[in-house]
Structure 1
Amino acid sequence: VVAEAADGSKALTMAAQEAPDVILLDLKMPGMDGLECCRRMKEQSPSARIVILTVSRELSSIVEAMKSGASGYLTKDTPSEKVVETVVRVFREGNLLEPLLADRLLDEFVTFSAKNEENPETAMFASLSPRETQILKLVAGGMPNKLIASDLKISEHTVRNHIRSTTVPRRPSSP
């Protein structure tokens, strides 16, 4: 632990000064919320690896965190040894979601696309490419980015791009 901050503004300043390898960030902070803080940290340091550690299990919170640039997402009831393991894995491998949260995210993608492809918000999930779906399934299974890249014979950078592209809003293609 390099530093600890009581609010989002202070966390942003300290991250710029200390340049930590991995940042643990709560979504609910005084002043600037965690999502805005995460976005700003990624703007000032695109290579920053940020793990959200929060109480929220809401799918919308997970998606917004990933869209904001988070590399991982854990809930506060995660055992401390798992938090440490996640920080180390994010440092070494890039993005990581708890397998249960990743499973839930993937289930929601499938459910949304099957339920209502006419709704623009849910139709974006139906627009995932076969490769994006394949990578999401591997991530949901807990496979690290490095191993996914090796198994699929692509670069880790490409894996990260596919993961990130699944969390960026899309416009459904016109019929």
Structure 2
Amino acid sequence: MSNFRKIYLLVIFTILLNFIAIYSFDYKEFFSDKNEFKISDVDDFSNIFFGKKYLYSDYTILKQNNILVLSGTFSTNAVLEEFKTALKINLDENITIDKSRKIDFETANRVYKIIDFLKEYMENGSKIVVKNNNIIFEGAVKYKRYARLVQILENEFESDTFFVDIDTLEFN
């Protein structure tokens, strides 16, 4: 087989592959928004290449003597202070600083939405526990009439990461 014939077959084969690729390409699938880009994909992608695996911060917000007390593990003191300021928490105790921890924004946003409920309607000793990105809201309501608010709260945050353990029968 001559060189001319080899080149001729290679050109024909290339043109044939181009026609197959052009006619089999689905433009609707390519330009659709089915494959949305998620920020969590970037986190997973960066962890693969940069080797830094972060754990989520575990913390507890406890109501003692009508004051909110924060305890837990945070990445830096600056993050701790910002978190306390955002949630309007007065005191902190038993704080551990660990550089491999980070606060999940979605979880912190949920805690922000229920912190006022803890301040206003819950008895002393009630608390919000965030562990492994799961939120556990436990305690007792001050008055029986707030029991309906507990049900609304459960329905609003119904998910696999939000648990309510509030005894609505204990009231003053």
Instruction: Say yes or no: TM over 0.5.
Output: no
Q: TM-score, length-normalised on structure 2?
A: 0.24
Bigger-Rg structure (1/2): 2
TM-score after normalising by structure 1? 0.24
- Looking at secondary structure, tell me which structure has more helix per residue: 1
